[in-house]
Structure 1
Amino acid sequence: MAETLYNPFTRFNFSNRNCFLTGQTLTSEEEKIQVFPAWLMSRYQLEDKVIKLLDESYIGYKDLKLPCTTAVNTQYIEPLESEIETAFAQGYEGVQQLEPVKIFQWAGKLLYGIIFNELQAGIRQQHAQGEEFTVSQGLIHKFSHLHLMLQSLNHQITFDGFTPFSLFLFKVDNPENEFAYRDEINTLTFSLRIQDFGLIICLQDNGSNRRYHEEIVKQIENDTLHPIQFEEFCGRVFYSAFLFNRLPEYDILPVADEIFVEAAPLRGTSGRPLFDEWQNKTYGQVLENFWKPWGFLLFEIIKNVDHPMSFLFTRDGHKIGAEAIDLHK
């Protein structure tokens, strides 16, 4: 196994001299790929826009890159990007036809690319101050398992009897050319709202968030949502991902040319629920952030703390149709 799977966290190797996926030495530091693919940046004019890093600094979308051998890019990354680009161009119907694991690989590569750049920036900053760079063991645990699962791109990896992620896909009545992207690297959660769809993915929860929100999903999964409804559901998922209190463990079993990944039971020896207790005040703060485009403030959202404002459901639990939402009044 050690000869086939690469773990950059063993030696904390995040230099530009080694391929991010395989660890192979590059022929040149110019061997890089874009974290946000060129087709996506071109479609939404992101080349001259910036994204905020954890240290509060800003970096251009086009400047976020990953070291990657030409062979890996040609054989594994480009075919995935091509498949995703084609599906996204067809909107909701196209994305719905994708294998969920392809969306997982694509979103995982993108989020891992941001993590890689965050780690590089942190290492540079700490070394400049003469300090050793440290990351919590919990985050290393999550990031290294995400990287392991990304190697399903270039290895025959089977997730044996489980799905490592929660994926939510909705049809959304988005404004033309809107690009709404959000991530939370501490919980490995990602959302994207473009075209006529919105997707959310929790990359390392073994499907727990999907099960947590199952009742709501059943009620709204076949509807076309208003953007504020999608962002409300986003807020719910990002908050529940924060409440999720397990670090999934996996057994790696190489068999011939295949690698089987088995998930240990999430409950383990703990009697605690998988999710900490939901607090509406904290959820309201999350929702305020997700609803920034519409200007709703926390005191409005939790005016009644037992019943936070919702555009998905009425106070008595009835579903609100997107056509009933008028935010121009």
Structure 2
Amino acid sequence: MDQIFRPFERLNFSDKICFLSGEQLLEKHKITVFGQWLLDEFNLRDKPFKLLDESIITYQDIKVPCSQNSFEAIKKLENTIEKAFKEGYDAVKQLDELLLFQWMAKIVYGLIYHETITGIRQQAAIGERFNFSQSLVHKFSNFHLMLQSLARPVEFEGQLPWSISVFPVNNAGQTFSYRDEINTLTFSIRMNDFGIIANLQDNGANKKFHQQILKESAGKTLHPIQFEELCARFYYSAYLFNRLPDYTILPTADTIFIESMPLQSISSKPVFDTWQVKTYGQVLENFWKPWGYSLFEIIKDPEAPMSFITSHEATFNDCKNLALA
């Protein structure tokens, strides 16, 4: 088997090599991080996208260098995802989680790649070397290795490295709502009649952390404000997640085997830091911007912050009962 491509070891982000496989490119060929069908479906090409340094580019500007082999693998994936996403919730729910992971990871890693290139250029302009923290190098290297499952045989053993939740959502027509947080590898999207929330490298911890509210909302159609509340909870818990997941990686002649190491073995302290109501309220305020709720309203009762998912009786609120736009 070819040697594993590890771009973060030497910050190997040349546009002359494939972002996924490390193959040398005979001619420059780039693909958009967001699939062409997505750009067309929601007229995203010229819409603004804010980078970490607050600069603005467009969705179609976010591109990565790609070999023909990788392009064919991505094209096949995009076709499968496009078909399911256009059909809606039931089709998306039936997708193999690995396919969903690969599609989301391709977008998030593409953004990491783009942010890294931008950072390298900015530092070079002032005569300095671009540096990642060692923890991010570790996290992003493993993330990239998992993404390589798109184009080469990779087997995941034991606990899968991610948390992925798919929800039916009563969205308005032509809704497209996308968020990510690359430091915590958190992703969410809302479109058609569904929404997806994913933590792409937590070994299932966030899903376990929110198991009670996931149980209460299981199978129920959510109002968009309820989905955004779940997003706020997952994004905040991803911030509180205090482990750096590790993996046993075994390359063989035919396959790379990846096995998640138990999170508890890394440290004896709790997997998540303490939940702070005020901080959560600030996160929720951001996710609820379309509905205009203030932090004061959200945490008026610090013991029971505002929620549209559960009522004061701790029962699920049917979205049909919510008089919201």
Specify if TM > 0.5: yes
Matched residues in 1 for 2:204 and 2:261: separation? 13
1:175 is aligned to 172
Is the 8 Å Cα contact of residues 64 and 114 (structure 1) preserved in structure 2? yes
Matched residues in 1 for 2:10 and 2:268: separation? 35
What CA deviation, in whole Å up to 9, does each residue of 1:146-175 have, x standing for no partner? 100001112211111111100011000000
1:133 is aligned to 130
Matched residues in 2 for 1:82 and 1:269: separation? 39
1:56 is aligned to 54
User: Which of these residues, 191, 194, 197, is aligned with residue 197 of structure 1?
Assistant: 194
- 1:180-329 to 2 correspondence within 5 Å? 180-327=177-324
2:6 is aligned to 7
1:44 is aligned to 42
RMSD of the alignment, in Å? 1.1
Matched residues in 2 for 1:71 and 1:251: separation? 27
The SS at the match of 1:85 is helix
2:88 is aligned to 91
2:18 is aligned to 19
What CA deviation, in whole Å up to 9, does each residue of 1:218-244 have, x standing for no partner? 110210000000000010000001110
Matched residues in 2 for 1:246 and 1:293: separation? 33
Matched residues in 2 for 1:256 and 1:68: separation? 24
Is the 8 Å Cα contact of residues 188 and 231 (structure 2) preserved in structure 1? yes
Matched residues in 2 for 1:36 and 1:309: separation? 34
Question: Amino acid of the residue matched to residue 289 of structure 1?
Answer: N
Structure 2: 5+ residue stretches without partners: none
Is the 8 Å Cα contact of residues 35 and 109 (structure 1) preserved in structure 2? yes
Report deviation, 1:71.
Answer: 2.5
Is the 8 Å Cα contact of residues 201 and 245 (structure 2) preserved in structure 1? yes
Residues paired across the two proteins, number: 325
Matched residues in 1 for 2:3 and 2:128: separation? 33
Report deviation, 1:306.
Answer: 1.2
Matched residues in 2 for 1:255 and 1:238: separation? 36
Question: Amino acid of the residue matched to residue 146 of structure 2?
Answer: M
| Alignment TM-score, normalising by the size of structure 1 | 0.97
Matched residues in 2 for 1:291 and 1:95: separation? 25
Question: Amino acid of the residue matched to residue 256 of structure 2?
Answer: I
Report deviation, 1:315.
Answer: 2.1
Matched residues in 1 for 2:255 and 2:22: separation? 20
Report deviation, 1:203.
Answer: 0.4
Question: Amino acid of the residue matched to residue 94 of structure 1?
Answer: A
What CA deviation, in whole Å up to 9, does each residue of 1:10-43 have, x standing for no partner? 11111211101111111122x1111011100100
Report deviation, 1:251.
Answer: 1.1
Report deviation, 1:72.
Answer: 1.8
Percentage identity across paired residues of the two chains: 53
Is the 8 Å Cα contact of residues 182 and 190 (structure 1) preserved in structure 2? yes
Matched residues in 1 for 2:268 and 2:284: separation? 30
What CA deviation, in whole Å up to 9, does each residue of 1:281-317 have, x standing for no partner? 0000000000011111111111111111100011231
Matched residues in 1 for 2:281 and 2:119: separation? 31
Matched residues in 1 for 2:241 and 2:21: separation? 30
Is the 8 Å Cα contact of residues 33 and 107 (structure 2) preserved in structure 1? yes
Report deviation, 1:318.
Answer: 1.7
